[in-house]
Each structure stands twice: as structure tokens, then as C-alpha cells.
Amino acid sequence: METIIKLTEVNKIYRTEEIETQALENVNIDVEKGEFLSIMGPSGCGKSTLLNIMGLLDEPTSGEIELCGTKIDPRLSDNRLAEFRNRTLGFVFQSFHLISSLNVLDNVQLPLMYRGVGYGERMRRAKEVIERVGLSHRMKHTPVQLSGGQCQRVAIARAIVGNPEIILADEPSGSLDSQNRTELHRLFFDLRDTFGQTILIVTHDEELASISDRVVRMSDGKIIV
């Protein structure tokens, strides 16, 4: 199998004038292309920090990151990193991070606008993924007019509209009720089976973890399983 994410001896230390906190300690992990991986552990164990480093939203203090066969140079400019993220990664967050003043269609097409895709093609692709997540009838609604489960579906549509190779999700079902959590699980698997994307999810949801391909468990900044 092809390795799509590789972290080697990754450490992350947060420092202030008074305290030093090691969020990640000597983390080594390989993720295969098309794998559905759940990352679990108690609050504060480093799960979200690990996801942010994989997603190039944070820099490791030391260690190497390789994504999609590319070693990430820590000297890359913010613009180059942003461009790489936009083309390679899709993000789904527990708090959705939707723009409240924009309707569903405009929220979903944003990553393509940043990529420089023309208006007609942006709209076509955005409508296609909105239909995919079952929200065609809500395209003109703003986030405040949607339920939590619907907002999460919009966030997923936005994450996949650029056809990224990797989807990173941080507690995507944390604010959803049981019915919406189950529907969300099905949607992730449908996306993986249809498009072959690699999906990494930070979660406390044992049901979701149980149907993942693999579970990585963390404690005190270390991978223990």
C-alpha cells in the first residue's frame, strides 16, 4: 500500500516565559492511502495538536512531515503552505467554521475561489457536492437556518469540493445527537468508498472508532497503540 502521511520523530513543545509543555513526544506514524483512521485519547493528550500538524496548521518543534510523497520544508512561506493545504487537504471541525453571512452554496465554493477556479466551474462543483451530502434543498439557506447536523454536512461538502486526497476531521460528531452522528458516520464511509480519500478523525466516539479501519490511541503526547 502507498503511504500518504508519514510523521517521523515529531515533537511539539509550547513555551511561555514560565512554563514548557510537551504536547507531542517522538510521534511516528504512517497512514496508508485510502485508510480511515480514528485518533482517540483523553482530553489534552495531543490528539488535536497531532491533527493540526498533519494538516500543516501548526509546525512541529522537531521531526519530519511527509504528505502525498512531498517532504514538508519548514522554511516554506505561509502562502506556499496555504496553497499546498488548499489542493491536498480538506478540514472538518466540530464548530463547523462556516461564514454566517454566506449561504450554503457560497460557503462550499470558497476553497475553489481561493484556488482561482472560474465562477461557473465553482458553482457546478459546489452544487454537485452539496447534492452528494443531501442538502440540495438548502443551498440558499444561511448557517443560522440549519440544524447542527446540516451545518456539519455543509462543512464536509466544503472540505471535499476541491477533491483533496486527505480529509482531516476534529471531533466532527461531538456536537451532534445520536441520529446525526450515525448519518455522519455513513457519509464519511460513503465518501471514502466512492472517492478513495484518506480520512483521519480525532474523536471520543467509540462507535465511530469501532468501524474505522484502524484506531490510534494517545496518552500524554505519545502514541500508545
Q: Whole-number mean pLDDT of the chain? A: 92
Mean pLDDT of the region 121-127: 96
Mean pLDDT of the region 108-128: 95
Eight-class DSSP state of 61: S
CA 90 – CA 173 distance, rounded (Å): 16
Helix (H, G, I), strand (E, B) or coil at 217: strand
57's grid cell: 496548521
**pLDDT > 90 in the chain, percent:** 72
Mean pLDDT of the region 176-190: 81
User: So what's the pLDDT on residue 45?
Assistant: 95
Q: Would you say the C-alpha torsion 84, 187, 94, 26 has a positive or negative sign?
A: negative
Containing 80, the helix (H) or strand (E) segment is helix 78-88
CA 4 – CA 33 distance, rounded (Å): 5
User: So what's the pLDDT on residue 221?
Assistant: 96
Single pTM value for the model? 0.90
CA 1 – CA 8 distance, rounded (Å): 18
Residue 211's pLDDT band, with cuts at 50, 70 and 90, is: confident
User: So what's the pLDDT on residue 172?
Assistant: 85
Distance in angstroms between the alpha carbons of the first and the last residue of the chain:
20
